[in-house]
Amino acid sequence: MFEKLKQAFSAVTSAVREKELNEKELDDVVFNFQLSLIESDVAQSVAEALTHEVQKSLAGTKVDRASDPSEVVGQRLAAVLEASFSKAGSVDLVENVREKKKTGEPYVVLFLGINGTGKTTTVAKVANFLKKKDLSVVCAAGDTHRPGAIEQLTEHAERLGLKVVSQRYGADPAAVGRDGVLYAKAHHLDCLLIDTAGRMQTNQNLMEEMAKIVRVVKPDFRIFVADALTGNDAVSQAELFNQHVGFDGAVLTKADADVRGGAALSIVYSTGKPVLFLGVGQGYDDLVPFDTQKFLDSLLKPD
Ligand code: GDP
């Protein structure tokens, strides 16, 4: 995973290591770094901002030629990235559900994202993950638009031995969500996971529908699901949802096939929200908690 992004980072440090750099050369190194970030699917605006931050932090720094200048650049890069990931913070979903459980109320998670990103599969994977932590889960089929969406979620849930709350196609998704909350409360379940629609005639419609669900259901947590392979698209979708509906954390799917790695970096940097999990395959167990330190180490430390 993410080899290309790792190369972008190691290229900038080794370029500095191999040359005696004057200011112009350092500019070139930084410019090439920006290009390789973009090639690794880091969103252009994020690549520019990152490069600018690194350049700013290097300005006026006297790199002692006797020491290893690549270390200085490497440290600056690490500092810039660590600051943005630590600002986004981290989330322990299991801990959150357990805390809410103490109040006797279900923890409600709303899943947001565009069709095809792996949202329904991710709902099932998260349900499986929570179930394995001895938490009781019910799902709600909030995508009442896409033909087959209710059956798809129901099939996943049946395989996992879970109940799905649903209504007919065309029903108000906010009402489905509310039904889910009532069901979870009545059955003293720990967690409700609500799937939602991902395509409507216009983005405006979709955003309004999602905002309505949020108003009615008042979820404890909103998870934005993005397909890591879609790079820049994933980032603009994240910005759109974050601006119009708001979300609290992201799941990046298809990370198993993603050699570029830029989406994780871009989403955290541009929305300030943490990545909770990576989807790493089509099976229910193919969900791994995102480890920020491991991700940063894998980018910044040579093998
Ligand atoms: P939705 O339209 O967003 O609900 O997307 P689906 O959940 O139907 O998933 C679309 C396709 O992506 C399905 O074939 C899934 O099996 C596949 N998929 C979902 N997550 C992953 C993942 O993490 N890795 C891989 N390789 N495939 C995935």
Residues of the chain with pLDDT under 50: none
Residue of minimum CA distance from atom 6 in ligand 1:
118
Q: How do residues 179-208 score in pLDDT, each as one tens digit?
A: 999 999 999 999 999 999 998 667 888 999
Tell how far the Cα of 127 is from the centroid of ligand 1, in angstroms.
15
Neighbouring CB atoms inside 10 A of 269's CB total 24
Residues 117 and 82 in one domain: no
Say what the pLDDT of residue 260 is: 78
Q: What is the DSSP letter of 83?
A: H
Tell me, yes or no, whether 10 lies in a domain: yes
Tell me, yes or no, whether 17 lies in a domain: yes
Tell me, yes or no, whether 301 lies in a domain: no
Say what the pLDDT of residue 267 is: 92
Polymer length in residues for the chain: 303
Tell me, yes or no, whether 216 lies in a domain: yes
Say what the pLDDT of residue 130 is: 98
Residues 140 and 110 in one domain: yes
Predicted model pTM? 0.91
Q: How far is CA 142 from CA 47, 214, 225, in A?
A: 36, 12, 15
Kindly state the tokens that stand for 299: 């980018």
Q: Ligand 1 site: residues with CB under 6 angstroms?
A: 115-121, 198, 253-254, 256-257, 279-282, 286
Q: From the CA of 257, give the closest atom in ligand 1.
A: 26
Domain residues for 201? 93-291
